[in-house]
Amino acid sequence: MDDCIFCKIRKGEIPSEKVYEDDKMMIIKDIDPKAKNHFLCIPKNHFKLLSQMTEDDEIQLKHCLKTIPKLEKELGLEGGYRLVINQGDNAGQSVFHLHIHILSGQKMGWTPA
């Protein structure tokens, strides 16, 4: 947790382009966008995998999923968007603090690689 980038962003120890924050989650711009419009929705609790969620983690993740649609206009998601949660090696998870990618701003194909 001490060396987790997203925990450091939460604590303000490293800068980020934060576009939304409340007591359970934050949304930042991805530093290396994979779509025209790429945000990361990050629950404040540090946990790596869906299989490791505590009850409190579940509350935060549910809150994320309920809040993202409320921010569609603010985040420019009206044309549609894709949510992605990478889990583990094969998915290429590189930050081990669970997060939801919010991809939008363009038509997207469907290629796993």
Q: Which residues are identified as catalytic? A: 99
- List 32, 55, 78, 89, residue binding ligand AMP (CB under 6 A): 32
DSSP 11: T
What residues from 54 to 93 belong to the interface with ligand AMP (CB under 6 A)? Answer: 86, 92-93
By the rule CB under 5 A, 7 interacts with Zn ion:
yes
Instruction: Give Cα 21 to chain centroid, integer Å.
Output: 12
11 vs 73 by CB, closer to Zn ion: 11
Binding characters for Zn ion, 54-93, by CB under 5 A (x = yes):
----------------------------------------
Burial 40-74 (b: 16+ CB within 10 A, else e): bbbbbbbbeeeeebeeebeebbebbeeebeebeee
In the complex, minimum distance from the CB of residue 96 to ligand AMP, in angstroms, rounded to a whole number: 7
Burial of 113 per CB tally in 10 Å (0-12, 13-18, 19+) = exposed
In the complex, minimum distance from the CB of residue 92 to ligand AMP, in angstroms, rounded to a whole number: 5
